[in-house]
A and B are shown apart, each in its own frame.
Chain A
Amino acid sequence: MFGLNPRDTRFLLIVVFLTLATPLLLQPFPESSGLAQFNAGYPDLMQRFAIFGIFAIGFNILFGLTGYLSFGHAAFLGVGSYTVVWMYKLLGYNILPGLVLAMVISGLFALLIGFISLRRSGIYFSILTLAFAQMSYNLAYSVLTPITNGETGLQVYSNDPQVLMGANAPTSPHIFGLVMRDSVQLPVGDWLFTFNIGYYFCAIVAILAFYISLRIFRSPFGMMLRAIKTNQTRLNYTGLNPRPYTLAAFVISGIYAGLAGGLLAAMDPLAGAERMQWTASGEVVLMTILGGAGTLMGPVLGAGFIKYFENIFSKINDNVLHAWFAFLPDGLENFLVALMHPFVGKGWHLTLGILFMLVVIFLPGGLIEGGQRIARLFRRRPDSDSRHQPKPAPHVGE
């Protein structure tokens, strides 16, 4: 189905189900229980899961398949956001023209940057993309203020033209009348489920994005990109020029990033230069590596993981910690709280950094590899003695 083999179809259907059921699945704890703060089923966070999932899927097409580590993908995110807000200002609050244009413009932008940056590889490529992104960021803050509105950030004002705006059209982002911030709330017993239109829009786009990435992974083009990662010299010797392929991958991932940036502005009609800063590029690198670069689901998992902990971990303060350890004797309770204090709340970046380092050191395949290892641990039957298996050949090279 959908041009996929049965295994991939099943995989895709599972992903579709999980994405559509997210508002139910992420709300496992009853509202009145103390664990309700771990619920992630509120619209803002779920939208972020989907949007950064798209961003990471796109980044993975470049980094996961070709091995080119770009440190400047946030530039495309920013370009996408600015485009969508400009379309609000000029045409009206319908998000569709903005999103399409965001993909086109970020694609062109990626074509330009990719054409120059891809002349070099390895660390030079990383630094070139970093330089371009920082340049865009600095320009957005200074000279391009008429376009980007500088430090204030771009937003819609009441005296903007908005030529396509109908008399009774909604005054916030919508798609043909369906307002993004509208939600339906469904109380079931002690649970409260929120079905948000914005989230479902993002989710459908994310599923499409995932499907396209799945097709790319399984296509001859994807194979070519993997060949570039494995051994570019050998590819050259077989008479193939790898640059068009890497450029295509770069542009595709740029379009994904532009789409994600556009969706950010579609959920909240604002765009600021800080979206282009290189820390934002670093974040998508973290997501992809944490989840597992080069795997299909990894980047999405990584994006969800980081966004979840960014929102939930940072809400844990000392009072919450005290409540957790209240059953312990006082001295031990205070000790544990003091021990955990630097890692939660405002310090969650520290946790993220440590986690990221641990993943890079011990689990180069990311969370996906971790999951596979655990699964293998359980699947192995006690009688299959590893001494009788052939030893894996040591990796030569690199």
Chain B
Amino acid sequence: MQRRAERNFPGEGTMEAIILQILNGLDKGSAYALIALGLTLIFGTLGVVNFAHGALFMIGAFCAVTMQRILNLSFEQVDPSRTDFLGNPLKVQVPYIESWFGPETGGALLDWSVPLSIFLAIPVMIGLGYAMERGLIKHFYKRPHADQILVTFGLAIVLQEIIKYFFGANPIQVAAPSVFSGSFDFGAILGFDPNVIIYPYWRMVYFLFSLAIIGAVFSFLQFTTFGMVVRAGMADRETVGLLGINIDRRFTVMFGLAAAVAGLAGVMYTPILAPNYHMGMDFLVLSFVVVVVGGMGSLPGAVLAGFLLGILQSFASMNEIKSIIPGIDQVIIYLIAIIILLTRPRGLMGRKGVMED
């Protein structure tokens, strides 16, 4: 298997292989980029290193689980047309939603539970972010960074355990809408041979969704008065405050926004990875690496580094690469982070003067 792949590599399949790996890296890269974007928003505005951001991603994913459970709330009904193996009329579970809206609309709503959970996740995440900032993080602005890391780390443990208490420790499968459940032949669209580049629909959806979110966040910051004030506050908080603008309130809103971005990233990721209570921690470690590689406090840097590391990771897991350097797929991200930190201490696009101690 491996040998055949090696023989193919320098030949005609090179372009296809590269495109395939880039595509494979995109969905993970999108998740990294979205989480890192939120982390950077919080760091750039409030100057707080938020170790609980992975937990926010995880809670977003569990919003999708909750939505699915709400939609699936059902009652028992006797179906006279069918019988069980003893010949008695069969009792079937009918979701309320199907009995209210009829089987077709109800079924469609059930099928679309993941995209629908966005409407649940946005208020939940903004509320949670708001509560976190006002209730806890506000008191840590003047404390050292180590204290901020520690208290948010504690918060992450608490959030994680609460989710574990309600949903258990096992991963919970959540299905994408059936329209997007299959794969499509991406290569054929670009004019390559058919059946070479096969890509699942939902991953494409996830990528486009993340692009939309990133675009929305950037245009919000760039083209609204609110965003302008926030950007001014990121550059010089004190002066903006002296101009009579309540910058703290706006930064709190930005914290809520960052939480919502992480939550949405989690919601849409559920069909790709069945959520469990510690998925947040797994993503958090990588997202921190992403933020550092991109440059602390740089929003475009976070997005760029997210996609870059996602794609590099998928390249590193190719058999051709692994046969040259075994195990590279496990460590590539960390290795790059180490190299970047040592050669370009500010990260790829870091600004001067941001956390250079």
Contacts and interface: CB of A to CB of B under 8 A. Distances in A.
B318 interface: no
A121 interface: yes
Given A347-B161, A349-B161, A116 B338 contact: yes
A371 interface: no
B151 A360 contact: yes
Contacts of A350: 157-158, 161-162, 165
Interface string A305-327: 00000000000000000000000
Nearest to B345: A120
Contacts of B281: 278-279
A67 B49 CA distance: 17
B335 A135 contact: yes
A285 B150 contact: yes
A132 B333 CA distance: 11
A143 B327 contact: yes
Interface centre among B143, B147, B341 (most CB of A within 10 A): B341
A110 interface: no
A328 interface: no
A306 B296 CA distance: 34
A37 interface: no
A289 B150 contact: yes
Contacts of A278: 281, 285
Contacts of A353: 154-155, 157-158, 160-161
A131 interface: yes
A123 interface: yes
Nearest to A289: B150
Contacts of A352: 157
Contact of B165 (A67, A138, A347): A347
Interface in A202-227: none
Contacts of A69: 146, 149
Interface in B233-249: none
Interface centre among A278, A347, A361 (most CB of B within 10 A): A361
Contact of B153 (A67, A131, A132, A282): A282
B197 interface: no
Contacts of A126: 149
Interface residues of B, number: 41
B337 A127 contact: yes
B286 to A, nearest CB: 9
A279 B162 CA distance: 18
Interface in B112-171: 136, 139, 142-147, 149-151, 153-155, 157-158, 160-162, 164-165
B289 interface: yes
Given A347-B161, A349-B157, A398 B326 contact: no
Interface string B41-58: 000000001000000000
Contact of A398 (B144, B150, B160): B144
Contacts of B151: 357, 360-361
Contacts of B331: 135, 138-139
A120 B355 CA distance: 11
B342 interface: yes
B12 interface: no
Given A67-B146, A347-B161, A398-B144, A124 B292 contact: yes
A67 B151 CA distance: 16
Interface of A: 67, 69, 116, 119-124, 126-128, 130-132, 134-135, 138-139, 141-144, 232, 278-279, 282, 285, 289, 342, 347, 349-350, 352-354, 356-357, 360-361, 364, 398
Q: Closest 7 CB pairs between A and B?
A: A143-B327, A353-B157, A138-B330, A350-B161, A357-B154, A353-B158, A131-B334
14 contacts: A67-B146, A116-B342, A123-B145, A123-B149, A131-B334, A135-B334, A142-B327, A285-B153, A347-B161, A353-B161, A357-B136, A360-B154, A361-B151, A364-B147
